[in-house]
Structure 1
Amino acid sequence: MAEQGILYIVPTPIGNLGDITERAVKTLAEVAAIAAEDTRHTRKLMQHYGIQNDVFALHEHNETQRVDAVIERLLQGDSLALVSDAGTPLINDPGYVLVHRCRERGLKVIALPGACAVTVALSAAGLPTDRFAFEGFLPSKPQQRRAKLEALKTETRTVVVYESPHRILHTLTDMNVVLGSGRQIVLARELTKQFETYLNGTAAELLQALTDDTNQQRGEMVLLIAPAQSEADVRDGPGEAAKRTLLLLLEELPLKKAAAMTAKIHDERKNELYQWALENKNNE
């Protein structure tokens, strides 16, 4: 029985052709064949790097139909590479069906690190990156797009979405209506390319900037929405229920212990409760 092949997930540049790893080039040259979202696009990339290999199409319209044939090749011992048009496969690109089936069959899948518009934009946008939500493309129909934005209105993580040039003004208009004037948004455009730009402001300010300079409406786009303020961030100090509990406990316990117990009961910050109690005592 032949040794099973490996499926390699290979990121490709999102703009700057220098953003590919040596490992990725070596892998694309050594596998038995390359599954590509667009074979014409991938062949141009291969020509640039001097890679000679077989390429076959695997995209959102044929992935389900072709997955069995790909799995069979892997079972027979052929190692294959999966690439999308740009960036990391499966991140808003085809490949999920194939990888899922490989895992079901016990086939080895190795993902190579590399370019991804989501992480590039997050790294340079100046918004919180400790937690974020990636939503892919927002719906193209206005009513569905506004409904999606309503659902994201209270999201306390940075939200990342892709957008196309012909919809960017409509999307920013909807963001202005739904998210209001207090939400910061970053438009990252043409990442890693010659005319890479980052525009920061409210939806209304970005709309004005893109209207004043229509060149900013061109190219590949990533929109990043600043986190909504949580209830805890908006209010000044501990909640009222926590304050009442703390005052009751202070009648029997030292401040440090009372603050710790109150924090556990109400899921509050112990240091914030401690500080509030000190200030309250000083104001008496």
Structure 2
Amino acid sequence: MIVPVALYIVPTPIGNLGDLTPRAVEVLSAVSLIACEDTRHSGKLLSHFNITTRTMALHDHNERARAQWFIEKLQAGESVALISDAGTPLISDPGYHLVSQVREAGFQVSPLPGACAAITALSASGLPSDRFSFEGFLPAKDKARLDKLESLKEDSRTLIFYESPHRILPSLAALEQVFGAERPMVMARELTKTFETFLTGSISEIRAQVEADPNQQKGEIVLMCHGYTNADDDAIPAKALDTLKLLCTELPLKKAAALTAEIHGLKKNALYKLGLELDW
């Protein structure tokens, strides 16, 4: 395969090596040079697919300075691929400055579709996906984390965060403090890997599960919070009421309310209370 001179943005697997696409293998094998976030980490992936293309490190600490070096390679007629440790480059990973400077230099930037933890998690979360905001990693320091969450408190979109194992408990505590204990949430962990898990419930419920189970404090984590809904708009939609009525014919009210809340993105306590008040 011969590829035109360009910078290729190539997503890599977020866990399962089988998710590297055939086209990605072809491009990584055909380019002259691969820019890697970590050459040792990426070397294992490339070796698995028998890709012998030369690699060069491109990370947060050297990206601005090294971008011109890659542009010179493009000017010399060498094609370049950009990969990160996992997922789609630039999504909470290096690459923005390189892509920006390559475009300014007049060279083509060609993206390949592929794995992205945020989109993978959202697609299976059951949370509203028509409008969402990817917020990356929350700040490491307590005050900055709380300030960030305060700025998002009344955002009506589904909010997506990445989090590291050693910060998951402080982040869940901050989310509960700012967003409230009852805000619906989904936590996805170790996506596409052997121990992939999804926890669904309110922020307080998920926090309790994570605190009680050290295994839930390991691996790569995606947190997704339901968007803000105004307390004045808490009327139960007709479709949700129909769902609750139908489920109550086969299930106890508490279970029916929980399932209805999950399906429609509502508060289960409000549904349970309504069920108690209505005489069907």
Return the TM-score normalized by structure 1: 0.80
For 2:21 and 2:39, the matched residues in 1 are separated by 20
Superposition deviation, residue 202 in structure 1: 1.7
CA–CA distance in 2 between the matches of 1:230 and 1:79? 51
Deviation at 1:233, TM superposition (A): 3.9
Give the secondary structure class of the aligned counterpart of 2:17. coil
**What does residue 47 of structure 1 align with?**
47
Q: Distance in 2 between matches of 1:177 and 1:10?
A: 38
Q: What is the alpha-carbon distance in structure 2 between the residues aligned to residue 188 and residue 225 of structure 1?
A: 11
Q: Matches of residues 1-284 of structure 1 in structure 2 within 5 Å?
A: 5-230=5-230, 233-234=233-234
How far has the Cα of 1:182 moved from its partner?
2.4
| SS in structure 1 of the partner of residue 73 of structure 2 | helix
Compute the displacement of 1:59 (Å): 0.6
Residues 122 and 129, structure 1, Cα contact 8 Å, conserved in 2: yes
Post-superposition Cα deviations, 1:193-244, rounded to whole Å, max 9, x if no partner, equal 000000011221112101221111100000001011147844799xxxxxxx
Task: Find the aligned partners of 2:236 and 2:34 in 1 and give their Cα distance.
Answer: 57
Measured in 1, the distance between the counterparts of 2:150 and 2:127 equals 20
Q: Residue 228 of structure 1: SS of its match in structure 2?
A: coil
Identity rate of aligned residues, in percent? 54
CA RMSD of aligned residues (A): 1.7
- Opposite residue 157 of structure 1, the aligned amino acid is R
SS of equivalent to 2:181: coil
Q: Say whether the 8 Å CA contact 1:186–1:199 is kept in structure 2.
A: yes
Instruction: Determine the C-alpha separation between the residues in 2 that align with 1:136 and 1:215.
Output: 22
Change (3 A) 1:129 1:232: farther
Q: 2 CA distance for matches of 1:168 and 1:79?
A: 40
SS of corresponding position for 1:70: helix
Letter in 1 for 2:149: L
Contact kept? 1:188, 1:199, Cα under 8 Å: yes
Output one character per residue of 1:174-200: Cα deviation in whole Å (capped at 9) or x when no partner.
111111122111110000000000001
Structure 2: which 5+ residue stretches go unaligned?
A: 238-280
Cα distance in 2 between the residues matched to 1:112 and 1:230: 39
Aligned partners of 1:34 and 1:82 also within 8 Å: yes
Which segments of structure 1 move beyond 6 Å, counting only runs of 4 or more?
A: none
Decide whether the 8 Å contact of 2:182 with 2:203 is kept in 1.
no
Check the 8 A contact 1:5/1:76 in 2, yes or no.
no
Asked if the contact 1:176/1:202 (under 8 Å) is kept, the reply is no
Aligned length: 235
Instruction: Give the residue type in structure 2 aligned to 1:124.
Output: A
Distance 1:207 1:155 in 2: 21
Distance 1:135 1:169 in 2: 18
Q: Give the SS at the match of 1:168.
A: helix
Which deviates more, 88-97 or 228-237?
228-237
Letter in structure 2 aligned against 1:226: H
CA radius of gyration, larger in: 1
- Aligned-partner Cα distance in 2 for 1:172–1:236: 28
How many angstroms apart in 2 are the aligned matches of 1:95 and 1:168? 26
Other structure's SS at 2:200 match: strand
Does 178-187 or 81-90 show the bigger shift? 178-187
Which runs of no fewer than 5 residues in structure 1 stay unpaired? 238-284
Residue by residue over 1:5-33, the C-alpha shift from the partner in whole angstroms, topping out at 9 and shown as x without a partner, is 20000000000010010000000000001
Alignment TM-score, normalising by the size of structure 2: 0.81
